Amino acid sequence: MSTQGRYSKIDKLGEGTYGSVYKAQSISTGKIVALKRMNIPPEEDGIPATTLREVCILREMRHENIVELQDILFQMPKLTLVFEFVDYDLKKYMDLKGSSLDPEREVKHFLHQMLCGLQYMHIRSIVHRDIKPQNILISKELNVKLADFGLARIDGIPVKKYSHEAVTLWYRSPDVILGSVNYGCSVDVWSLGCIFAEMILGVPLFNGKSDADQLIKIFTHLGYPTSSSWPSMHVYPKSKALLEEKMASMNAKCLQENLYARQELAVLGAHGLELLKRMLCFEPSQRISVSEALNHPYFHNHSRETIHSLHSRKAKPR
């Protein structure tokens, strides 16, 4: 099979409501690529605004830690985005490895690259809004690429309303769970904090089944927030329903499993735990920024030489 005579499909990598993703080969160069074939609903008069937004954002970004958009193919009712091919996503990488990742060779190295990619975006006021393991790509050389910008927004540019459903539930910050629609770059930092812990623990940090259950999972590990730790906790649309009613008896049950006392996380050291705490801060305005995180003492021994040494090794998830 070929796509407009330019790419030959090799394998189907995934499928969702948006369409399908294929591994393919350029007929002219032989280069392996990833095709994201997007379905355009019949009722749409042209390309949907969300798709146009993703394309516009991708075309403006050129960074080693952001997946590269190489080509665009359009033939109604299909729009195909052609990306560089990357071997794994982080979820698949961790599943294949079957255990938590190495604290230095993988966790610190991956987190540093994720933060570099986000810093490039946040400096340009672009919020990813869907940071999760499936949207973080890992090459065999241990290079990290942020991917899937279908929910990305430019912070500060008016839109009808930011959706509080944007970020996948397990990686959704408490303020977004409570219905915040004015959030910014801090939502990406919370999501990345969840992934930081997940890379060590080997399992998702907060795996709630609903908004209320997700908050319970968060408070069980981090403690029930106070007006000091989360000054804005009562200003959100769902604060009353979720905090004052469903969580009324929650306070005494919190910290049953204090996250920062877990033995598995001890490998992060004092600096790593402190960085994790600042990423998982309840108050959005007090959450550490990606630029601050990159300058955190946790990364002070992550030198250029270390990075070069890590890059010279091939990934062996199995």
- Which tokens belong to 249? 């008896």
For residue 188, indicate whether it is catalytic: no
Query: Which residue would you say has higher pLDDT here, 220 or 316?
Result: 220
pLDDT averaged over the chain?
Answer: 87
CATH H-level, domain 2-84: superfamily: Phosphorylase Kinase; domain 1 (3.30.200.20)
Q: Which of 11, 89, 102, 130 is catalytic?
A: 130
Q: What is the CATH number of domain 88-311?
A: 1.10.510.10
Residue spans of the domains in the chain: they are: 2-84, 88-311
Q: Distance between alpha carbon 79 and the CA centroid of its chain, in Å? A: 24
Confirm if 293 and 275 have CB atoms less than 8 A apart.
yes
Average the pLDDT over 5-15 and give the result.
90
pLDDT one-digit tens code per residue, 197-255: 999 999 999 999 999 999 999 998 998 888 899 999 999 999 988 887 666 666 555 65
The yes-or-no verdict on residue 29 having pLDDT over 70 is yes
pLDDT one-digit tens code per residue, 247-305: 666 655 565 568 988 999 999 999 999 999 999 999 999 999 999 999 999 999 886 54
Q: How far apart are CA 272 and CA 95, in angstroms?
A: 23
At 161 the pLDDT is: 45
The yes-or-no verdict on residue 49 having pLDDT over 50 is yes
